[in-house]
Amino acid sequence: MAALTIQNARDGSTFTQGPQDTLLRAALRAGLGLAHECNAGGCGACKFELLEGDIETLWPDAPGLSARDRQRGRHLACQCRALTPLTIKAQTGAEYVPPTPPTRQTARLVATRDVTADIREFRFVASEHARFAPGQFAMLDLPGLGSSRAYSVSNTANGQGEWHFQIRRVANGRGTQVLFDELQPGDTVGLDGPYGTAWLRTESPRDIVCVAGGSGLAPMASIARGAAEAGLLAERKLTFFYGARLPSDVCGEDMLRALPGFGQQIRYIPVVSMPGDDGAWTGRTGFVHEAIAGALPSALADHEFYFAGPPPMTQALQELLMVTHGVPFEQIHFDRFF
């Protein structure tokens, strides 16, 4: 099928969509700032109205659309492809323009390493490049799956084409089953990226706070590594909170210890929600967001916040930061892992 032209009636912009792309990926590839967040059908941030033309819907039951959205004829740009030229009405904004437009490449699995009992690091080498901002994610096309999965990058951009991911095994998860049980070093996957808006803001003068919940470790490791590489930690402090359920799930400290300034400029604070009754865990307990205010030496609004993890954690953090502590939305950058 030839490339099809899509016009956004809201701002007059046009872009073309090739045969493999969704509307969202095509728009971002063209450098346009179509509103979006997860790229995986979960958040609903890329909703649009179809004014003219025909589309196909890749995942009709995607949870990002409510019954009311469906009744009103709304669609998700991350789950739709054009079948004819289209006119749509979609929200756009400068904050959604990708710093590096995403590209598709092939990536070969070169190594794996267990981080905890259920989080494993997967290292891929891509055919062309590893250009991304710290904190971004890529869409992986795994063999036999038919739909992509989003995974955050844990390393930083490099000239060797290396993309590292830290992935938690999900019970009965189709993608993680392929990754953990079937994929072997030397096997290849499709890699499309970078995506995501929660990247490290190097221009911010504020101290940095990273909060990772469970498999949210990867993008926060990337942010911390990126901040160190960019020389930001000469002037600023970075506090890294890790929220785990069990003491045995606690991880990430080794990656931070390898960075210059650990112990002075960089602090690591693990928080465990189910410490058990044996008294073996002597660190902080509770939900990770509850530990933040008491552990920071100055007002929360003086910090730049990055966080990633399950939607209930990101929701609790948003409320805490914006409602309770008045942190401006522009200082809050997060990914919800659907």
**String of DSSP letters for 162-179:** EEEEEEE--TT-HHHHII
Question: Which 59-78 positions form the footprint of ligand FAD (CB under 6 A)?
Answer: 59
| 310 near ligand FAD (CB under 6 A) | no
Instruction: Describe the strand order of the beta sheet including 207-213 as a list of residue ranges.
Output: 284-285, 266-272, 238-244, 207-213, 303-309, 332-336
| E-only strand ranges, 55-102 | 55-57, 74-76, 80-82, 86-90
Interface pick for ligand FAD out of 41, 270, 275, 309 (rule CB under 6 A): 41
**Helix (H, G, I), strand (E, B), or coil: what is residue 332?**
strand
| Angstrom distance (rounded) from CA 159 to CA 22 | 29
Size of the site for ligand FAD (CB under 6 A): 26
Question: Which 223-282 positions form the footprint of ligand FAD (CB under 6 A)?
Answer: none
**String of DSSP letters for 308-328:** EE-HHHHHHHHIIIIIIS---
Interface pick for ligand FAD out of 101, 173, 247, 311 (rule CB under 6 A): 173
Residue 25: CB atoms within 10 Å: 25
Angle between helices 311-318 and 288-295 in degrees, nearest 10: 30
Which residue, 137 or 307, has its beta carbon nearer to ligand FAD? 137
Q: How far is the CB of 46 from ligand FAD (least distance, A)?
A: 12
Q: Choose among 74, 48, 137, 193: nearest CA to 338.
A: 137
Site string for ligand FAD, 43-62 (x = CB under 6 A): ---------------xx---
- Rounded to a whole number of angstroms, the CA Rg of the chain reads 20
DSSP 243: E
Q: How far is the CB of 32 from ligand FAD (least distance, A)?
A: 19
Question: Which 198-217 positions form the footprint of ligand FAD (CB under 6 A)?
Answer: 215
| 175 near ligand FAD (CB under 6 A) | yes
Q: How far is the CB of 44 from ligand FAD (least distance, A)?
A: 12
Q: How far is the CB of 27 from ligand FAD (least distance, A)?
A: 17
Interface pick for ligand FAD out of 89, 108, 174, 206 (rule CB under 6 A): 174
62, 41 contact by CB (below 8 A): yes
Question: Which 140-169 positions form the footprint of ligand FAD (CB under 6 A)?
Answer: 147, 149-152, 165-168
Which residue, 241 or 337, has its beta carbon nearer to ligand FAD? 337
| 38 near ligand FAD (CB under 6 A) | yes
Q: How far is the CB of 134 from ligand FAD (least distance, A)?
A: 13
* Residue 194 preceded by cis peptide, ω within 30: yes
Q: How far is the CB of 2 from ligand FAD (least distance, A)?
A: 25
Q: What are phi and psi of 181, to 5 degrees?
A: -110, -20
Give me the residues that bind ligand FAD (CB under 6 A), please.
38, 40-42, 58-59, 137, 147, 149-152, 165-168, 170, 173-176, 215, 218, 335, 337-338
